[in-house]
Structure 1
């Protein structure tokens, strides 16, 4: 059974619906998502977003291909084609894509570690492990600026959010 990866184009914001409907039909599919920090109503939240909006990857064998059944699945428009030929994606590329999505999602920030100015912070990884500091401000989406007392002087140092936790 020689299975291949194909790309389908979904209706706007219906990737999740198409993914669920394909799953219900027993068709293996991959919907790459990443977790991102966003500011909503003045608060930082973590949400999942599609890595490739409006696209899904499906894994089917040549004997299982029923293009009409897949195209008529709720949420799906059609297969991606180049020159009239339905395009495929190499297995090695899909393995790399899955690995990248795993790594990106592993770098998420814990929901409980959203800090406020003045919060006491403990450093849990790196050269300053075990030291305490005071949260100063965000330094991008994945880093924070901390005030660390080194030799009786406050130094502002940037730390990865995965290396710190609130006390």
Structure 2
């Protein structure tokens, strides 16, 4: 009986792992989601994996391929396991992820606040002060409106200094 398992793949080699696993008759599933990111100064929608580096696989180890064969496939690092036995993933979890992908395909996840959101500066010379998120300033910085001396000031800060 075919079951679902979770693999950890070598960095940057998931596509290679999928190609080699599918040739062996192993079903592969990597849940994806759309995110907004700034790439080369422009906001773009990109498909990214929900779990980077991980791949769900579907096969029957009794009929082949074996756990050892799957784990030694190019691009695969190891099974997610407890002890020496790979942990089986429940069908419900896979179904829920597939439902989520289909029902939320148009929704976009963003790692940045929306314009007008209140944020707090976590580090830097203005640590602890509240500000209003204004817009992205490149890939790693953002503009905030900070109220200094009763006057709003537009300030560019690293995204790592911002907490919601």
1:34 shift after superposition = 1.3
1:25 shift after superposition = 2.3
1:5 corresponding residue in structure 2: 4
Alignment of 1:99-118 (within 5 A): 99-107=99-107
Q: Distance in 2 between matches of 1:75 and 1:105?
A: 28
Q: Distance in 1 between matches of 2:33 and 2:51?
A: 10
1:104 shift after superposition = 3.2
1:108 shift after superposition = 5.0
1:20 corresponding residue in structure 2: 19
Q: Distance in 2 between matches of 1:20 and 1:35?
A: 23
In terms of fraction of residues, the more helix-rich structure is 1
Q: Which moved more, 1:54-63 or 1:20-29?
A: 20-29
Q: For residue 19 of structure 2, give the secondary structure of its aligned residue in structure 1.
A: helix
Q: Distance in 2 between matches of 1:4 and 1:46?
A: 33
1:50 corresponding residue in structure 2: 49
Alignment of 1:85-104 (within 5 A): 85-104=85-104
Q: For residue 38 of structure 1, give the secondary structure of its aligned residue in structure 2.
A: strand
- The total of aligned residue pairs comes to 110
Q: Does 2:41 correspond to 1:35?
A: no
1:13 shift after superposition = 2.2
The unaligned stretches of length 5 or more in structure 2 are 110-133, 136-164
Tell me: CA distance 1:19–1:105, structure 2 relative to 1, closer, same or farther (3 Å). farther
1:122 corresponding residue in structure 2: none
Q: For residue 12 of structure 2, give the secondary structure of its aligned residue in structure 1.
A: coil
Residues 122-160 of structure 1: CA deviation (Å, up to 9, x unaligned): xxxxxxxxxxxxxxx98xxxxxxxxxxxxxxxxxxxxxx
Tell me: CA distance 1:81–1:63, structure 2 relative to 1, closer, same or farther (3 Å). same
The unaligned stretches of length 5 or more in structure 1 are 110-136, 139-167
Q: Distance in 1 between matches of 2:13 and 2:102?
A: 22
Q: For residue 106 of structure 1, give the secondary structure of its aligned residue in structure 2.
A: coil
Following TM superposition, where does structure 1 have runs of at least 4 consecutive aligned residues deviating by more than 4 angstroms? none
User: Quick check: 1:35–1:104 contact (8 Å CA) kept in 2?
Assistant: no
Q: Distance in 2 between matches of 1:27 and 1:66?
A: 10
